[in-house]
C-alpha cells in the first residue's frame, strides 16, 4: 500500500496534473486551507489516484514544495559579482511565479517557525556561499558572514514580493512602476553590499 505502483505514461501524466493542481492549491490556501477535493477536480482525476501516488496531503505538499524549490534555484542562479543584478532578477521572478514564494512562506509558517527554511541548507546553498566568499575575498563585496549577506540580499529582493508585509507587486502593474523599483533595488543592493574601497564611507 505504501509502495507506489509503477507508473505508465498515462499515470505519469495524471501524476503531473496532480502536482500542477496541488501547487496552485497549496500556494493559494496553504496546507491547512488546501482542499483535496479541489485538487482532484482541477487535475481531472480522483482521490484514489492522489492517495496512491502521494500518500496524503502532507506528503503531497512535500513533493510540491521540493519541486518548486529546486526550480527556483536553477532558474535564478546567483552572480556574486553582481548581487544587485541577481536581486533584480529575483524581483522579476517573483512577478512571473508568485506561487513559489508563497509556497515557501506557507512552509515557513506552517512547518518551520524557526531556523533554516529547509534542513539541508548546506547542500543547497554551498554554491551561493562560496561565490559570495570569493567576491568578498576579491574586495567586491562587503565583509561579513556570507550566509548573512545572502539572506540580506534575498530579503531586499523580496521587498515587493507576493509575501511582502508592505506591498505585494503584481505583473499587471505599469512597466514604469517596475522599472522604478528595479532601479531603487539595484542601487540599494549595490550600496548595501559593495565593499568600501578605503577610508571611511
Name the segment binding its own copies (CB under 8 A); options: 4-12, 36-44, 56-64, 157-165.
Answer: 157-165
As a whole number of angstroms, the distance between CA 80 and CA 138 comes to: 11
Closer residue to its own copies, CB minimum distance, 41 or 184: 184
Length in residues, the chain? 201
As a whole number of angstroms, the distance between CA 47 and CA 92 comes to: 36
As a whole number of angstroms, the distance between CA 110 and CA 127 comes to: 28
178 binds, among its own copies, DNA, none (CB under 5 to 8 A by kind): none
Q: Is 47 in the site for DNA (CB under 7 A)?
A: yes
Q: Is 37 in the site for DNA (CB under 7 A)?
A: yes
As a whole number of angstroms, the distance between CA 91 and CA 154 comes to: 9
CA angle 106, 116, 64 (to 5 degrees): 40
Q: What is the SS3 assignment for 84?
A: helix
Q: Is 49 in the site for DNA (CB under 7 A)?
A: yes
The secondary structure of residue 14, as a DSSP letter, is: H
Q: Is 107 in the site for DNA (CB under 7 A)?
A: no
CB of 168 to DNA, least distance (A): 25
193 binds, among DNA, its own copies, none (CB under 5 to 8 A by kind): its own copies
Integer distance in angstroms from the first to the last C-alpha of the chain? 65
User: Among residues 56, 77, 139, 191, which is the contact residue for DNA, using CB under 7 A?
Assistant: 56
Q: Please check whether residue 61 is in contact with residue 25, taking contact to mean a CB–CB distance below 8 angstroms.
A: no
The footprint of its own copies (CB under 8 A) covers: 28-33, 98, 101-102, 104-106, 108-110, 112-117, 121, 142, 144-145, 147-152, 154-156, 158-160, 162-170, 180-181, 183-185, 187-194, 201
The footprint of DNA (CB under 7 A) covers: 5-12, 14, 34-37, 44-49, 51-52, 56-58
Amino acid at each position: 500500500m505504501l509502495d507506489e505502483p509503477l507508473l505508465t505514461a498515462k499515470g505519469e501524466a495524471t501524476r503531473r496534473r496532480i502536482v500542477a493542481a496541488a501547487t496552485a492549491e497549496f500556494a493559494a490556501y496553504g496546507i491547512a486551507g488546501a482542499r483535496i477535493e479541489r485538487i482532484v477536480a482541477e487535475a481531472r482525476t480522483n482521490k484514489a489516484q492522489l492517495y496512491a501516488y502521494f500518500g496524503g496531503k502532507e506528503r503531497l505538499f512535500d513533493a510540491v514544495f521540493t519541486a518548486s524549490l529546486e526550480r527556483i534555484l536553477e532558474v535564478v542562479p546567483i552572480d556574486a559579482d553582481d548581487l544587485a543584478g541577481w536581486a533584480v532578477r529575483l524581483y522579476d521572478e517573483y512577478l512571473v511565479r508568485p506561487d513559489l514564494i508563497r509556497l515557501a512562506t506557507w512552509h515557513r509558517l506552517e512547518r518551520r517557525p524557526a531556523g533554516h527554511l529547509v534542513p539541508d541548507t548546506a547542500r543547497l546553498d554551498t554554491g551561493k556561499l562560496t561565490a559570495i566568499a570569493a567576491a568578498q575575498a576579491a574586495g567586491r563585496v562587503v565583509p561579513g558572514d556570507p550566509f548573512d549577506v545572502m539572506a540580506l540580499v534575498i530579503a531586499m529582493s523580496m521587498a515587493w514580493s507576493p509575501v511582502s508585509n508592505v506591498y505585494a507587486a503584481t505583473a499587471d502593474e505599469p512597466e514604469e512602476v517596475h522599472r522604478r523599483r528595479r532601479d531603487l533595488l539595484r542601487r540599494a543592493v549595490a550600496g548595501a553590499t559593495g565593499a568600501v574601497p578605503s577610508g571611511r564611507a
